[in-house]
Structure 1
Amino acid sequence: MTVAIALGALVLLLLIGLPVALAMAVSGALGLYLVGGMPILGGILKTAPLSSANSYEIITIPMFILMAEFVILSGVASDLFRAATIWMGRVRGGVAMATALAGAGFGAISGSSTAAAATLASTSIPAMMDEGYDPKLAGGVVAISGTLAMLIPPSIALILYGIIADIPIGQLLIAGLIPGIIVTLAIILTVALLVRIEPGAAPQSRSYSFAEKIAALKRVGPMLLLFIAVTGSIYTGLATPTEASGIGAFVAMLLAAWERRLTGQGLWRALRRAAQTSCMILFIILGAHIFGYFFTLTRVTNDLTDWVAALAVSPWIIITIILIGYLILGFFMDQIAILILTVPVVLPLVMALGFDPVWFGVIIVVTAEVGMVTPPLGMNVFVVARYTRRPLGELFRGVMPHVWAHLIVIALLTAFPALVLWLPSTM
Structure 2
Amino acid sequence: MTNNTDSMPSSQNPDSRSAYRGRLQGMTWIIILSIVAILASSLFFADIQREFRAVVALGLMFALMGLGVNVGLAMAVSGAIGIYTLIGYRPLVSTLTQTPIAQSASSTLLVLPMFVFMGLMLWHSGITKKLYAAARVLFFWLPGGLAATTNIAGAGLGAVSGSTIGSTYALGRIAIAEMLEAGYDRRLAVGSVLSAGTIAQLIPPSIMLVIYAGFAEVPVGPQLVAGTIPGIILTIAYVLSVVAIALLLPHWAGKDGRRREAEHKPALSRIQKLRIVSEAWPVPALILIIFAGMGGGYLTVTECGAVGAVGAALYCLAVQGGRRFSISLIDTCKGTLSAVGSVMFLIIGAAIFSRLLAVTGAAQWLSAEMQVISDNPVLFFFMLVILYLVIGTFMDAIAMMLLTVPLLLPIVVNAGYDPIWFGVFVVLMAEIGLLTPPVGMLVFIGHGMVQNPEINMGQKISLPDVFTGAMIFVPLALVVVVLIGLFPSIVTWLPSLAAQ
TM-score range, shorter chain: over 0.9
SS at match of 2:161: coil
Which residue of the partner structure matches residue 305 of structure 2? 245
| CA shift digits 1:130-167 (9 cap, x unpaired) | 21211111000001101111110000111111111111
Pair member with larger Rg: 2
Paired residues for 1:68-79 under 5 Å: 68-79=119-130
Write the distance in 2 (CA, Å) between the matches of 1:211 and 1:92.
24
The one-letter amino acid of 2:122's match is: V
Paired residues for 1:281-300 under 5 Å: 281-300=343-362
Shift of residue 311, structure 1, vs aligned partner: 4.8
If the length of structure 2 is used for normalisation, what is the TM-score? 0.82
Task: Pick from 378, 391, 397 the counterpart of residue 335 of structure 1.
Answer: 397
Matched length: 427
Of the structure 1 ranges 339-348 and 306-315, higher mean CA displacement relative to structure 2 is found in 306-315
Which residue of the partner structure matches residue 220 of structure 1? 280
| RMSD (CA atoms) | 1.6
Which residue of the partner structure matches residue 417 of structure 2? 355
Which residue of the partner structure matches residue 186 of structure 1? 237
Task: Pick from 97, 117, 123 the counterpart of residue 148 of structure 2.
Answer: 97
Shift of residue 303, structure 1, vs aligned partner: 2.3
The one-letter amino acid of 1:253's match is: A
| CA shift digits 1:43-87 (9 cap, x unpaired) | 211212111211122121111111110010000111110111111
Which residue of the partner structure matches residue 117 of structure 1? 168
Which residue of the partner structure matches residue 130 of structure 1? 181
The one-letter amino acid of 2:151's match is: A
Given the alignment of the two structures, is residue 197 of structure 1 paired with residue 268 of structure 2, yes or no?
no
| CA shift digits 1:288-316 (9 cap, x unpaired) | 11111111222322222222224585132
Contact 1:305 1:352 in 2 (8 A): no
SS at match of 1:202: coil
Shift of residue 406, structure 1, vs aligned partner: 0.6
SS at match of 1:426: helix
Given the alignment of the two structures, is residue 9 of structure 1 paired with residue 69 of structure 2, yes or no?
no
Shift of residue 197, structure 1, vs aligned partner: 1.9
| CA shift digits 1:118-140 (9 cap, x unpaired) | 00001111211221211111000
Contact 1:301 1:348 in 2 (8 A): no
Change (3 A) 1:268 1:93: same
Shift of residue 209, structure 1, vs aligned partner: 5.0
| CA shift digits 1:237-294 (9 cap, x unpaired) | 1112122111111111111112116522221111101110110000001101111111
Contact 2:392 2:434 in 1 (8 A): yes
Which residue of the partner structure matches residue 32 of structure 1? 83
The one-letter amino acid of 1:285's match is: I
SS at match of 1:376: coil
Change (3 A) 1:246 1:312: closer
Change (3 A) 1:311 1:124: closer
Structure 2: any 5+ residue segments left out of the alignment? 1-51, 452-460
Which residue of the partner structure matches residue 417 of structure 1? 488
Which residue of the partner structure matches residue 379 of structure 1? 441
Contact 1:24 1:287 in 2 (8 A): yes
Task: Pick from 466, 479, 492 the counterpart of residue 395 of structure 1.
Answer: 466
Paired residues for 1:163-178 under 5 Å: 163-178=214-229
Write the distance in 2 (CA, Å) between the matches of 1:92 and 1:319.
35
Contact 1:58 1:163 in 2 (8 A): yes
Which residue of the partner structure matches residue 258 of structure 1? 318
Contact 1:154 1:231 in 2 (8 A): no
Contact 1:86 1:213 in 2 (8 A): yes
Which residue of the partner structure matches residue 152 of structure 1? 203
Shift of residue 12, structure 1, vs aligned partner: 1.8
Query: How much identity, in percent, do the aligned residues show?
Result: 36
The one-letter amino acid of 1:405's match is: L
The one-letter amino acid of 1:368's match is: A
Shift of residue 27, structure 1, vs aligned partner: 0.7
Which residue of the partner structure matches residue 30 of structure 2? none
Change (3 A) 1:95 1:313: same
If the length of structure 1 is used for normalisation, what is the TM-score? 0.96
Contact 1:83 1:220 in 2 (8 A): yes
Write the distance in 2 (CA, Å) between the matches of 1:139 and 1:342.
30
